[in-house]
Amino acid sequence: MHIGIITCEILRREIKEIIERTGVNKVFFVLHETSNPAINALGRRVNKRFWSELAADEIKIKEKTIEQIEKEIREYDIRDSVIIKVMELRMHDSPDKLLAEVKEGIKKMSAIVNFVLLGYGLCGSTASEMERVIKEADVPVAIPRDKGGEILNNCIEIALGRERVQELLREEIGTFFMTPAGASIIKEPQVILESTIGIIAGRMNRSAAVDTPRIIKLMRNHYRRVVKICYSEADEKEREYSKTVENFAKEFELEIKSVRGSSKIMLEALEKGKQFKT
């Protein structure tokens, strides 16, 4: 089986567990089909950050364009693979662009894969827009959903579940969430804040993501704590992650609360995808 994955780079941990669950050892990372050296360099840098999480001798990783991947699969009669298109962390700042990229990614992968798994929630798009992209795709598409079948809003709900996020917000409405991957990519408090406000603002108020004075005022007036999401004891003890969270909390005078995240929801989406008939 050939599985296509289109994902935000913040879901590195979840995608690692998905690859482990499939048992596939051939992993392709998609390169941009462009001769622009700046775009290529950025794409390679994002891919490299992502596959550093996959470090395992038994996994064979290659970077190729979709056309090159299709050619290699055909020439070598490869029966099983995972093909991953990684998109930059802050694509949610422009939901319409994100949706267009997802749609194009699905279209290009459809000639190769049995189904596509999306490492995204709505991320600023409406449910009807995302459902339309899924419905119109040439191959089955799986996406993280809640127990009622509704698409989850963002990576935090994917890590914790919608019910747990709502529980934490009822406990303290002024809660900010941070993940290990997000903290490792963007370590500076202001950049983390702008990115997350972008997720919240989405299409409703795109300028909120770049209105720095307003963001800082909002943070100091309305946020009381930061939730540090840990998938394991190693995350809890990881020095760089702890330092980033502590710096962020100190900058905005927040309390720190650690909670356990998991890849359960993404793994459920994987199993749903594997059930599709193609």
Question: CB neighbours (10 Å) of residue 42?
Answer: 13
- At residue 188, the 3 state secondary structure works out as coil
Q: Which residues contact 77 (CB under 8 A, 6 or more apart)?
A: none
- 109 and 186 assigned to the same domain: no
Q: What pLDDT score was predicted for residue 271? A: 96
- 224 and 249 assigned to the same domain: yes
> What is the number of domains present in the chain?
2
What is the extent of the structural domain holding 56?
2-153+263-275
- 121 and 189 assigned to the same domain: no
- 88 and 206 assigned to the same domain: no
- 81 and 128 assigned to the same domain: yes
- 268 and 255 assigned to the same domain: no
From first to last of its 278 residues, the chain has per-residue pLDDT tens of 999 999 998 899 999 999 999 999 899 999 987 666 666 777 788 888 888 777 666 788 999 999 999 999 999 999 999 999 998 776 767 888 999 999 999 999 999 999 999 999 998 899 999 999 999 999 999 999 999 999 999 999 999 999 999 999 999 999 989 999 888 876 655 555 555 555 444 444 444 444 556 666 666 677 899 999 999 999 999 999 999 999 889 988 899 999 999 999 999 999 999 998 55
Report whether 105 contacts 6 (CB < 8 A). yes
Task: Determine the residue type at 113.
Answer: V
- 81 and 167 assigned to the same domain: no
Q: Write phi, then psi, for 35 (nearest 5 degrees).
A: -100, 5
> Two tokens at 175?
């809660």
- 143 and 194 assigned to the same domain: no
- 132 and 208 assigned to the same domain: no
Q: What is the CATH number of the domain that holds 91?
A: 3.40.35
- 144 and 55 assigned to the same domain: yes
> Two tokens at 273?
């995808």
- 206 and 116 assigned to the same domain: no
- 170 and 69 assigned to the same domain: no
